[in-house]
């Protein structure tokens, strides 16, 4: 029996490990020159002359961004019904209300039309999520937000290296937030980055990132706000600098593996079971299919156990967020978001990471097709 193929695994090369060791030996291990170097490198990578701030997580970054644009009690933020919990949790943490909108069944993404229908006088911001690395159709979303005076905070946790109509996510629009959790397309172990256009956000972001501290008019350190503590370490930044060097190669490997998945599965599965293939700009954070569990008369847990018995690790990204206990208790009806409900019930994430081979994809497809045929 082969060892279990996990659904994801980070690739850290020896050069990066050597850089981390050098930082550990340097005597400066918290936020310092490596953080500045990572911010510069991310700015160059994303392009568009953007400001960049890195922090300890995308969750922290999203909360910092919403706070910096003034989201607070009495406000609403429009969030997809199909996303990770963090997208909505940060809205609640600021005393505001997440208003869910449904996503496309195959795109898993929100549209400008769905967002427009959810705007109320209390709406302050919208948070599109580029699900699985497929860009949201952003031009109409940004046009809508400009017309209605709303801020756009893109949850780009899945989308470092994603292009939309040839333009890198983060290089245009209002604010984008990337995640560098180990499951994402590049990692700083834990970490995130905000990339934005408006330099007026820099002061509130820097204060929120580090204790509300900045220099006063006389050049002395002063506290101006009850800020948080979200600064990234130089050790983590050194990991990120090494990962960013390899990111385009990682994403190219992901795309090639996904092409092989499509070649194997498109002839065998209903179109609804497969995600939209997207274009060359898709960064394929995850490859997830919908399994008709009710028709097969098995639970997802049983499906996952059968795949595991065949040596294949499977993830779930994600159950419907309005259907989670906390959001149901806030009064959300998961049935009001039928695509998110169906995706949430049927989705399974198949293995995809840069060090995989086409032979691994074949093993996954053989296992999947055999479980579906049972």
Ligand X SMILES: *Cc1c(COP(=O)(O)O)cnc(C)c1O
Contact residue for ligand X among 57, 89, 123, 162 (CB under 6 A): 57
Q: What contacts 254, CB < 8 A, 6 or more positions away?
A: 133, 185, 283, 284, 285, 352, 353, 354
> Which stretch in 57-65, 71-79, 91-99, 217-225 sits in contact with ligand X by CB under 6 A?
57-65
Q: Which is nearer to ligand X, 136 or 253 (CB)?
A: 136
Q: Which is nearer to ligand X, 192 or 240 (CB)?
A: 192
Please enumerate, as own/partner, the contacts of 220-228 that have beta carbons within 8 Å and a separation of 24 or more. 228/60, 228/64
Q: Which is nearer to ligand X, 104 or 192 (CB)?
A: 192
The answer to whether 109 contacts ligand X (rule: CB under 6 A) is no
Partners of 222 in the beta sheet?
214
Q: Is 184 annotated in the active site?
A: yes
| Sign of the alpha-carbon dihedral angle for 30, 31, 34, 35 | positive
Measured CA to CA, the distance from residue 312 to residue 120 in angstroms comes to 45
Q: Which is nearer to ligand X, 80 or 204 (CB)?
A: 80
Across 212-334, the runs of DSSP E, i.e. the strands, are: 213-215, 221-223, 287-290
Site for ligand X in 17-46 (CB under 6 A): none
- Minimum CB separation from ligand X for residue 283, in Å? 13
> Which stretch in 116-124, 150-158, 252-260, 350-358 sits in contact with ligand X by CB under 6 A?
150-158
Q: What contacts 285, CB < 8 A, 6 or more positions away?
A: 132, 133, 158, 159, 184, 185, 254
- Minimum CB separation from ligand X for residue 274, in Å? 20
**Rounded (to 5) percent helix, strand, coil in the chain:** 45, 15, 40
Contact residue for ligand X among 78, 79, 110, 129 (CB under 6 A): 129
Q: Which is nearer to ligand X, 57 or 111 (CB)?
A: 57
Select from 259, 286, 255, 265 the least CA-distant residue to 367.
Answer: 265
Contact residue for ligand X among 89, 109, 179, 349 (CB under 6 A): 179
Binding mask 67-106 for ligand X (x = CB under 6 A): ----------------xx-xx-------------------
Contact residue for ligand X among 59, 123, 283, 347 (CB under 6 A): 59
Cβ proximity of 274 and 106 under 8 Å: yes
The answer to whether 158 contacts ligand X (rule: CB under 6 A) is yes
Is the peptide bond between 318 and the residue preceding it cis, with omega within 30 degrees of 0?
yes
Contact residue for ligand X among 38, 46, 52, 58 (CB under 6 A): 58
Q: Which is nearer to ligand X, 157 or 274 (CB)?
A: 157
Active-site residue (options: 184, 215, 229, 252): 184
Measured CA to CA, the distance from residue 104 to residue 276 in angstroms comes to 10
Ramachandran assignment for 231, one of left (phi > 0), alpha (psi -120 to 50 degrees), beta (any other): beta
The answer to whether 192 contacts ligand X (rule: CB under 6 A) is yes
The answer to whether 157 contacts ligand X (rule: CB under 6 A) is yes
Residues found near ligand X in the complex (CB under 6 A): 57-59, 83-84, 86-87, 129, 155, 157-158, 179, 181, 192
Q: Enumerate the active-site residues.
A: 184
């Amino acid at each position: 029996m082969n060892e279990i193929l996990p659904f994801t695994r980070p690739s850290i090369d020896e050069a990066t490990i050597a850089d981390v060791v050098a930082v550990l030996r340097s005597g400066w291990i918290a936020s310092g020159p490596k953080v500045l170097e990572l911010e510069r490198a991310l700015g160059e990578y994303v392009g568009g002359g953007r400001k960049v701030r890195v922090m300890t997580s995308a969750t922290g970054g999203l909360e910092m961004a919403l706070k910096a644009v003034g989201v607070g009690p009495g406000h609403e933020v429009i969030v997809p019904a199909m996303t990770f919990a963090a997208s909505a949790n940060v809205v609640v943490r600021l005393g505001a209300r997440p208003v869910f909108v449904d996503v496309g069944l195959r795109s898993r993404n929100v549209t400008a039309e769905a967002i427009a229908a959810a705007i109320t006088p209390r709406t302050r911001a919208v948070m599109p999520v580029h699900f699985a690395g497929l860009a949201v159709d952003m031009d109409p979303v940004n046009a809508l937000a400009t017309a209605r005076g709303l801020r756009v905070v893109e949850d780009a946790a899945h989308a470092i290296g994603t292009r939309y109509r040839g333009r890198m996510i983060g290089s245009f629009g209002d604010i984008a937030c990337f995640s560098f959790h180990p499951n994402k397309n590049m990692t700083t172990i834990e970490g995130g980055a905000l990339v934005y256009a408006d330099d007026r956000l820099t002061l509130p972001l820097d204060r929120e990132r580090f204790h509300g501290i900045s220099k006063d008019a006389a050049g002395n350190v002063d506290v101006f706000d009850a800020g948080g503590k979200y600064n990234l370490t130089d050790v983590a930044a050194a990991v990120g600098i090494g990962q960013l060097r390899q990111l385009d190669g990682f994403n190219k490997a992901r795309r090639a593996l996904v092409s092989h998945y499509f070649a194997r599965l498109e002839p065998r599965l209903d179109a609804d079971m497969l995600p939209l293939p997207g274009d060359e700009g898709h960064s394929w954070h995850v490859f997830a299919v919908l399994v008709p569990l009710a028709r097969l008369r098995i639970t997802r847990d049983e499906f996952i156990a059968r795949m595991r018995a065949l040596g294949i690790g499977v993830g779930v990204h994600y159950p419907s967020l309005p259907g989670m206990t906390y959001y149901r208790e806030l009064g959300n009806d998961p049935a009001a978001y039928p695509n998110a409900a169906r995706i949430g019930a049927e989705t399974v994430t198949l293995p995809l990471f840069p060090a995989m081979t086409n032979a691994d994809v074949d093993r996954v497809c053989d296992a999947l097709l055999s479980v579906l045929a049972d």
